[in-house]
Amino acid sequence: MEQCISPTGEIILANVKRADSHWQKLWGLMFKRSLPASEALLLDNCRSIHSCFMRINIDVIFVDKSGTIVYLIDNMQPWQFSKFVRRGRAVLECPPGTIQRHGLQINDKLTLRVD
């Protein structure tokens, strides 16, 4: 597992699981009934997502290749589609409230660290 660290050094997400395969990315968080506050799913090489077949709302953080936030979706509901984020290179699918709780904004730089 990895940790997601804020620009101030705060641990935003203690348990970030990386979706490594096509199937892990496709399956994602579909059919999950909950997502603990400290967990998230990281989708590499991703510029848009959907929340079809999901049962939970999520916060969505798009980052560029350097880890800088380029787009945010606060509290994305099931059966929604994100826009195509041209500068996006990875997406963090997080529990709802993550963006607000940590005051995340466009241009903040996040760091992933192996736990």
Q: Where are the chain's structural domains?
A: 2-114
User: Quick one: residue 87, left, alpha or beta (phi over 0 = left, psi -120 to 50 = alpha)?
Assistant: alpha
For 26-30, what is the mean pLDDT? Answer: 80
Q: Which two tokens stand for residue 29?
A: 């968080």
The percent of the chain in helix, strand and coil, each rounded to the nearest 5, is: 10, 40, 50
More confident residue, 1 or 10: 10
Convert the pLDDT of each residue in 72-114 to its tens digit: 999 999 999 999 999 999 999 999 999 999 999 999 999 999 8
Q: Which CATH architecture has domain 2-114?
A: Sandwich (2.60)
The per-residue pLDDT for 22 is 82
End-to-end Cα separation, the chain, in angstroms: 6
Judged against a pLDDT cut of 80, whether residue 53 lies above it is answered with: yes
